[in-house]
Amino acid sequence: MRAAVYDQYGPPSVLRLEEVAEPEPGRGQVVVDVAATSVNLSDWECLLGRPA
């Protein structure tokens, strides 16, 4: 599956699409297939490493 990943704080250019392994649910867990999502201010602050 594809995922947007980053391993350093910075602008949106640090994001990249990668193929990652499909998660395997543990006992008592489920895997949810996400059809759509959004980006909000909290996501932006996490990407930039703020307010930390």
- In tens digits, the chain (52 residues) has pLDDT values of 888 899 998 888 999 999 999 989 999 999 998 888 888 888 888 888 876 6
Residue boundaries of the structural domains of the chain: 1-22+37-52
Cα distance between residue 19 and residue 32, in whole Å: 18
Q: Which two tokens stand for residue 8?
A: 């350093």
Cα distance between residue 39 and residue 13, in whole Å: 15
| pTM of this structure | 0.60
